[in-house]
Every structure is written in structure tokens, then in C-alpha cells.
Chain A
Amino acid sequence: MVTAVATELSQPNDTELVQRLRSRDKHAMEELLRLHGSKLYGVALQITRNETDAQESVQDALINIWNKIDHFEGRSAFTSWMYRVTANAALMKLRKNKKFEQNISLDAGSDPEENLPQIQLADPASGPAQALTRHELGDHVRTAIEGLPEPYRTTVLLSDVEELSMEEIAAAMEVTVPAVKSRLHRARLALRKTLLPYLKEPV
């Protein structure tokens, strides 16, 4: 069992880190912070869009990682698990601050493409036919996601960027799984429309 868990971890460093966390080594938490702190902060900031909330979310996430490390079964990469814990902490913060009010009706029409506003991006300077670097595409993708109204922005972030399951998102956002699917589909269609000129495999 231990061997199976170890082989499924993403990196040797993470395997060791998990073992040290399980043996209640606080220096391992500091190591985790050094290695993954920026990513955890980025996830929290992307969800809360507020520095103070993001900082508190990271602190809450660290507490949860420390307290729930034995719940990590190694079925996914340790980094993915940490990001999910952080995303959940950020969502709790949003929920507490009641920032989930929708600004777009979900039931406005039967055509999912009708409901979301077109997101504006800069004209593709190098021409749509030219493949972008991952960095350039990343700028467009993040801007497009940022332009989505809530709750679509958070839903697509949690699903397609942070890879939480539909069930996890539904639980965290306190909605049904079908509502998550509907929001996710509409968000993807809006992003597709915006990103269409850039959708080539990154070079």
C-alpha cells in the first residue's frame, strides 16, 4: 500500500515531504511553503481576487494540509491535492463574504451561448494563424477567464484550471452537480468564442 502510494506521487520531493508531514515535522511545512507557496497564493488570489482574502486563505489551507495530511491517499499528485485544499479554503472565504451573488441569470434562455457577454481581448497582433508561445496563450487565457462573470469564472477556474471534480465544486459552491455542469459548459462556450483566434497548440 505504501509502495503504491509512493509510486503515484508526482515527484520524489513530494513523497519525502508527505512522509515528513505525516511525522509532524514543521520544517516540512516550511519546505512546502518555499516550494509551493507561490502557487497556493496564486490559486487563492485567482479565486478571491482580493489580497487579504488570499493571504488568509493560504493560511487556512496550510492549517488544513497540516491537519488532514493523513486524508491524502496518493490517488492524485500531492500538488493537485494541495491546490484543491487551497481552492476550497478560498471558496470558504468567498462564501463567508457572500461574494457568490450571480450577476448573470442562469435561466435567461435555453441557448447556453446567449447568456454570457463577449469577453474583449486585444486583437491578435501576430495574426490568428501563427501559433503562440505557452506564455502568450496563458496571458490570453487568464484575461479571458478573468473577464467571465461570476459564478462562471470560479466554476471554470476550479474545474478546468485546478481540476476539482464536479462533486467537489458543487459541494464547495453549495449548488447541484447539474448546475455546475451548466455553468461550466456556458463558461467554456464563452471562452471558446473569445479564444478562437488563439486556439492552436502552443509552440
Chain B
Amino acid sequence: MIQGVINYFKCLLNLSDCKNVHKLLFDYVEGNLPPEKQERLTTHLRDCPLCLEYVQSYKLTIKACHDCGAPTEKMPDELADKLRVFIQREL
């Protein structure tokens, strides 16, 4: 509880870093930032629960797309038959 209040006030004092998280989010998550900027944002995330939640939900979105976004359709049997003939005759 007390830690939460402390973090809240830390966030208020570090609004420029909060803005940077939004501005640099893509490159931060992709690991494209220069090491010192990357480290500065990582340090900020330790102190700012709001930014941490934002970054984590962005990362979880990417993970959800990767893990669960793949198509589930089954190839129609007629197409599979047609392609088998194509492979034998045309390749």
C-alpha cells in the first residue's frame, strides 16, 4: 500500500519518462533503442506501475497474436486432390 503511494508520486515526478515510454514503446519492445535509453526505460518501469502495465499488455498482445493468431482452417479435400495431381504432372 505504502509502496503503491510512493510509486504513484514517483510517477508524477517522472512524467517525461512516462511520455518516453509511449513514444519509444515500439523500439523498446523490439530492443532497437541504444543501450542507455533501453536501460533508462527499464529502470523507469521498475518505478512506474502504470507504464509497466502498459508495456506488459503491449507485449502480451504480441504474444497472443503469435501463440493464438494462426489460422485454423483445414484445406478442402478437393484442393488437396487437385494439388497432388499438380505436383505429379507440373513440377
User: Contact residues of A with B, CB < 8 Å?
Assistant: 26, 29-30, 33-34, 37-43, 45-46, 55, 58-59, 62-63, 66, 134, 137-138, 141-142, 145, 156-157, 160-161, 163, 181, 184-185, 188-189, 191-192, 195-196, 198-202
Contacts and interface: CB of A to CB of B under 8 A. Distances in A.
Given A43-B71, A66-B91, 5 more contacts: A43-B70, A58-B75, A142-B68, A145-B69, A160-B65
Contact of B79 (A41, A134, A156): A41
B25 interface: yes
Contacts of A41: 73-76, 79
B62 A138 contact: no
- Chain A's interface: helix, strand, loop or mixed, by majority? helix
B83 A192 contact: no
Given A33-B83, A41-B75, A59-B86, A195 B64 contact: yes
Nearest to B84: A30
Interface of B: 25-26, 57-58, 60-62, 64-76, 79-80, 82-84, 86-88, 90-91
Contact of B66 (A55, A142, A163): A163
Nearest to B56: A199
Nearest to A58: B83
B65 A156 contact: yes
B36 to A, nearest CB: 21
A161 B87 contact: no
Contacts of B80: 33-34, 37
Contacts of B70: 39, 42-43, 138, 161
Contacts of A55: 79, 82
A145 B68 CA distance: 11
B75 A137 contact: no
A31 to B, nearest CB: 10
Nearest to B83: A33
A192 B66 contact: no
A203 to B, nearest CB: 12
A45 B84 contact: no
A161 B83 contact: no
Given A41-B79, A138-B72, A191 B61 contact: yes
Contact of B83 (A62, A160, A196, A200): A62
27 contacts: A29-B91, A30-B87, A33-B80, A37-B75, A38-B74, A42-B71, A42-B73, A45-B71, A55-B82, A58-B75, A58-B79, A62-B86, A63-B91, A66-B91, A134-B68, A137-B64, A141-B65, A142-B71, A145-B65, A156-B65, A161-B66, A161-B70, A163-B66, A185-B26, A188-B61, A195-B61, A202-B67
